[in-house]
Chains A and B, each alone.
Chain A
């Protein structure tokens, strides 16, 4: 991969503040969930989904920054917010002298020449009723960069040749439905580079393509980057291509960057427990290899009600007191325990605790009331039994106090703290362990 080495030179070269193409500061994209119709009528806000919640990083010139995360981690929203396709609800995206979110759509339009996007599904990204010449050349017309059709054709031919759609004459009058996925993605790339952009946000550009053309498209993107001095933001859930393609990687979880740093560092010495889990989840090419994979337990939490403290703590194997344990973590624990019990034991334990719904309110303190005919002592004994059954469970580190009180059991958790990105070695990581 000679291109990769070339690409690393500028990003590893010492550069001052001018090295940053884009500075993102505390960027937030929150979506208001629609509440009831009455709530909508009176403007009472429903829940808020924090798709991107306070993201800060610098995008260096001529680097490839990978945004990696599970579905729902906010990586696509972040990519779109960088281009102003999604309106951030807070924070800054500094591009040169300008703060992009503060500009109106009209004022933003000239910047679109320099900030381009490549979409996940090449079949959907091209207008089905425009032939390739019109589609690729349309940006030139929009920005009034060509005077006539001949000039446009010249530029289009040039761009198509650059992305390897040759012989060009055969493709000019084709419609998107006539092309294969790889060819369409090349056309999309041609359309993106025809304006001479500085930044290309590529949103999973190869995930909809055949395996056979994925590598070719990535190679093409690296060639384009070298020839045209591009900066990439590469959004993906695929760590294998990120390792190959990116200079730096930012791991995202629930709208936050949890770890960001040079690709080599991240892959050789992952710091954040989530990054570690992700790396272990990369499939091995050897079918016989049985790797112990302690994948994160559970699902990615509801973004409308993220966990208190560190949002990864419910799934984290290394969580401890500071991570923000809370009432909602207790219920899955009890339910998990009950799954393993036989019917009689389950009935007995289930009847001990009254209503479990009090556990659904996010808080650091909860009172567990006993069921009918049971006393608070029984509840306490039950919780203690659960603790003894699995003392390694990180949740128990977070329990500060557990005692019977006024006819119920009070469970207090340690007050958590939201970890911020902190430098740890060569990377920055948002975890209390560092």
Chain B
């Protein structure tokens, strides 16, 4: 329960009243970082830092990578085939004579692009369908639930392969196809979560109140239900992002993902490096593999950290010390506490031990909405 000061007492508050929209969004995003504690906080921070690094690498790939992802020669000189890591090729070259370091860096860009695109599509489609199914109910709801459940029951990789295969004719073997394949895998999760919370939220009085005000269904859904049913979406989204990286790599590994001519992709590189492993060429597989592990780990940390903080059943929130203002020196105290005792109390900082005139230190659970 949030501990909020009653509005009746005290000065008019100025803090949250006139903040700009941007500042308010930043405030909301910062909430889990402020409220988390212990392992959850560590996971959240480490995950965010690692993800941030990956994003930086992806964004500045053209500056970081020495060569293009499909470059096989520089200044007329062909790169060596399966060349060892060296000054010119930090991570060596692979069987296709591509520079491994450049492929890893460009690969980060591909991963980010696909994951972002897939997530955006999934969230939009999943949330909208879930909201409509939950709100409208009836036959539409039953049919959508049936479809989503059957998608959910499919082995996810098989589903992704089928979609990628079907779309590769129309969209080619690029980023869009891979994103669409991943989208199909993850929509049911969002649909389920959003539909279920919509079904329970639409019984709330404020929804009936909105109807009584004359709000048409699309306004009830967008203004009254949407904000109240998407609370668990950020957690699912980050966890799914981690999962999606794996799915994309698996697709690439199996040859149904992004074609090597379109963009660099770690899973494909791993596939090509399979034969190298037996002949002692470790660099072609280790670096793309490490990159996958790193990104999946980073995103998982963020997701798990968010989950631990935002999920009320798991939540362990940080106890923030609250310093109360000193009490007014009021009427003479009847049972004055001996000075020594007060000193001891102050030293120990036990919260209740301080003398009445001291600023008391106590802890309280910092709540959030």
Contact = CB atoms under 8 A, between A and B. Distances in A.
A185 interface: no
Contacts of B216: 106, 109, 142
Contacts of B227: 127, 129-130
A85 B212 contact: yes
Nearest to B227: A129
A139 B214 contact: yes
A417 interface: no
Nearest to A172: B17
Given A119-B205, A124-B205, A169-B12, A112 B7 contact: no
Contact of B214 (A109, A167, A179, A180): A109
Given A119-B209, A170-B7, A175-B369, A142 B214 contact: yes
Interface residues of B, number: 28
A183 interface: yes
A43 B287 CA distance: 64
Contacts of A112: 212-214
Interface of A: 83, 85, 106, 109-110, 112-113, 116-117, 119-121, 124-130, 138-139, 142-143, 167, 169-175, 177-180, 183, 188, 191, 195
Given A129-B227, A129-B228, A179-B7, A142 B215 contact: yes
A145 B8 CA distance: 32
Task: Kindly name the residue among B8, B18, B209, B215 whose own CB sees the greatest number of chain A CB atoms within 10 A.
Answer: B209
A85 B211 contact: yes
Given A169-B12, A170-B12, A177-B369, A143 B7 contact: no
A110 B214 contact: yes
25 contacts: A106-B216, A109-B216, A110-B214, A113-B214, A124-B204, A124-B206, A125-B206, A126-B206, A127-B227, A128-B206, A128-B228, A130-B224, A138-B215, A139-B213, A142-B213, A142-B214, A142-B216, A142-B219, A169-B17, A170-B12, A173-B18, A174-B7, A178-B7, A179-B7, A191-B213
B2 to A, nearest CB: 6
A113 B17 CA distance: 30
B140 to A, nearest CB: 17
A138 B7 contact: no
Given A109-B214, A113-B214, A127 B7 contact: no
A180 B8 contact: yes
Contacts of B215: 138, 142
A138 B223 contact: yes
B328 interface: no
Interface string B254-298: 000000000000000000000000000000000000000000000
Contacts of A119: 205, 208-209
